[in-house]
Amino acid sequence: MASVGLAHFHEEVDIARGLFEGGHFQEAVRKAAERFLNRVAELARRDDLVGAGLVNRTFSENQPILEFDADRSSLQAKNRHDGFRFLSLGLTLAVRNIYSHADDLPVTENEALEWLGFLSAMHRRLDRVQQVAAYKEVNSEPTDSSEPENIATE
């Protein structure tokens, strides 16, 4: 089996390369996790939101700003959407937040590489997400007006 390293990871993870190669493993993971959230904010066009609030709003169940499938009536589509939100939330809480606020957590080179691999996979999935242009701010059920007139969606 071919060995996997930073060179195989998503280009967005490159932001942590210098830190990783310099032996700053905790900071490398934190930086890469921060970049993931910033990319979500950029794609969602929501620089007013951060952290878990950003993830929850962006991948909201009923009024998402980013989505993988417009029709989430199938279990697979729902799993894809909800699962990505939960993974992103976990990344925010268990990785970004933890490594941002703790100085005494030893992160080994292997562990850092594994986290960066996870972040790379998250970015690859994020590549495929679709921007919902006419998303609604109000937390209500979607209406027909969220779709442009006379544009077929089904």
Partner 1 sequence: MSTHTEQLTEIVERVRVATETLGDDDSKLRAIAFQKLLDHELSQGQPDVIPRGASHEAAEDSVVQIDDAFASRALREQAIADYFRIGSNQVHDLFDISNEAPYLEVRADMLDRSNRFAIREIALLVCGARTALGIETGTADIRKAADIHGRLDDDFISHLLCMDEIVVRGKSTSPNRLVRMRAIGAECVRGIAQRLVANGQ
Binding site for partner 1 (CB under 8 A): 39, 43, 45-49, 53, 57, 60, 66, 70, 126-140, 146-148, 150-154
CA distance 93 to 103: 16
Closest approach, Cβ 149 to partner 1, in A, equals 9
CA distance 84 to 1: 28
Give me 141's structure tokens: 């059920």
Closest approach, Cβ 82 to partner 1, in A, equals 17
Nearer Cβ to partner 1, position 27 or 67?
67
Closest approach, Cβ 43 to partner 1, in A, equals 5
Closest approach, Cβ 74 to partner 1, in A, equals 15
Report the 10 Å Cβ neighbour count for 85.
18
Chain centroid to CA 148: 27
Nearer Cβ to partner 1, position 20 or 81?
81
Nearer Cβ to partner 1, position 75 or 133?
133
CA distance 6 to 39: 19
CA distance 24 to 108: 9
Nearer Cβ to partner 1, position 26 or 58?
58
Residue pair 71/154 in contact (Cβ under 8 Å)? The answer is yes
